[in-house]
């Protein structure tokens, strides 16, 4: 777990009753990123198929890229549970986690569990691959990515194929992600969706509470502004 920094604000909104304790585990920037990214992915799919509006599709793709760049930076400078160092574990830890799933009394994880942490990382990398290849893609008609002129037609066609096929792989990964959430909801009786909406997670009274830190929201706005500006410059001047 990352060491507390002077720029961080300690979480104080933890309530207790006889059965559970409610602890703030997800900051607002992380939650907004999660649902905004989901919205933009759906918009990208819709504008490329049913709507066939490639101009809007590209704008949505730029928004996805800006969000991904924000998340990469937030994974280093953000709140405790948002940092990669807090949830990207060793393969041994992942195997131990899978072995512990049979135990109904297993210790709850405050943020992402070891398997979920690797899934988050894989989803981010896949989305970066899809958006990155989209910058070099073409539709053989009127629309081209902003970086197509830096590569040849053959390479652009390969990037286009990667862009399309990558999305289908992303759908499979999302299905696995949703399946894991349903597994926890139905079999483990633990709602993982509610904390990503409210920011709070209910823990057993005996659960060990780590020293979580919630980062200042103004830093998140600054980072998002910088990543959005960088993507806008790419779209305008590439």
Residue 4 has what pLDDT?
37
The answer to whether residue 19 sits within a structural domain is no
Residue 213 has what pLDDT?
86
Residue 190 has what pLDDT?
85
Residue 18 has pLDDT above 80, yes or no: no
Q: What is the domain range of residue 196?
A: 34-203+224-237
**Number of folded domains that form the chain:** 1
- Residue 149: which of 187, 159, 124 has the closest Cα? 159
> What whole-number distance in Å separates Cα of residue 225 and Cα of residue 66?
9
Task: Answer whether 87's CB lies under 8 Å from 111's CB.
Answer: yes
User: Across residues 18-25, what is the average pLDDT?
Assistant: 75
Exposure on the CB side of residue 26, measured as CA atoms within 13 A:
22
More confident residue, 95 or 209: 95
The answer to whether residue 175 sits within a structural domain is yes
Q: How confident is the model at residue 209 (pLDDT cuts 50, 70, 90)?
A: low
Residue 115 has pLDDT above 60, yes or no: yes
Any residues with CB less than 8 A from the CB of 43 and at least 6 apart, and which?
56, 60
The answer to whether residue 219 sits within a structural domain is no
- Residue 62: which of 238, 237, 228 has the closest Cα? 228
Label each residue of the chain as H, E or C: CCCCCCCCEECCCCEECCCCEEEECCCHHHHHHHHHHHHHHHHHHHHHCCCCCHHHHHHHHHHHHHHHHHHHHHHHHCCHHHCHHHHCCCHHHHHHHHHHCCCCCCCCCCCCCHHHHHHHHHHHHHHHHHHHHHCCCECCCCCECCCHHHCCHHHHHHHHHHHHHHHHHHHHHHHHHHHHHHHHHHCCCCCCHHHHHHCEEEECCCCCCCCCEECCHHHHHHHHHHHHHHHHHHHHHC
Task: Answer whether 195's CB lies under 8 Å from 25's CB.
Answer: yes
pLDDT digits (tens, 9 = 90+) for 25-75: 999 999 999 999 999 999 999 998 876 788 999 999 999 999 999 999 999
pLDDT digits (tens, 9 = 90+) for 120-175: 999 999 999 999 999 999 988 888 999 999 999 999 999 999 999 999 999 999 99
The answer to whether residue 199 sits within a structural domain is yes
The answer to whether residue 69 sits within a structural domain is yes
Alpha carbon 211 to its chain centroid, in Å, reads 23
Residue 227 has pLDDT above 90, yes or no: yes
Task: Answer whether 25's CB lies under 8 Å from 199's CB.
Answer: yes
Residue 15 has what pLDDT?
53
> What whole-number distance in Å separates Cα of residue 63 and Cα of residue 226?
13
Mean pLDDT (the chain) is: 87
Q: How confident is the model at residue 214 (pLDDT cuts 50, 70, 90)?
A: confident
């Amino acid at each position: 777990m990352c060491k507390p920094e002077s720029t961080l604000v300690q979480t104080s909104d933890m309530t207790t009753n006889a059965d559970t304790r409610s602890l703030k585990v997800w900051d607002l920037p992380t939650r907004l990123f999660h649902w905004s990214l989901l919205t933009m992915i759906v918009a990208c799919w819709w504008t490329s198929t049913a709507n066939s509006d490639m101009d809007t599709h590209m704008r949505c793709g730029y928004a996805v890229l800006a969000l991904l760049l924000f998340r990469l930076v937030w994974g280093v400078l953000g709140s405790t549970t948002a940092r990669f160092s807090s949830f990207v574990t060793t393969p041994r830890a992942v195997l131990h986690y899978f072995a512990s799933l049979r135990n109904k009394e297993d210790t709850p994880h405050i943020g992402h569990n070891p398997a979920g942490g690797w899934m988050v990382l894989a989803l981010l990398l896949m989305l970066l691959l899809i958006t990155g290849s989209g910058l070099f893609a073409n539709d053989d008609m009127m629309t081209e990515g902003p970086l197509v002129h830096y590569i040849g037609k053959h390479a652009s066609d390969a990037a286009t194929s990667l862009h399309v096929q990558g999305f289908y792989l992303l759908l499979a990964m999302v299905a696995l992600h949703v399946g894991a959430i349903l597994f926890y909801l139905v079999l483990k009786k633990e709602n993982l969706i509610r904390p990503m909406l409210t920011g709070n997670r209910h823990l057993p009274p005996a659960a060990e509470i780590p020293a979580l830190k919630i980062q200042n929201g103004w830093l998140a706005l600054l980072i998002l502004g910088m990543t959005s500006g960088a993507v806008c410059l790419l779209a305008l001047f590439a």
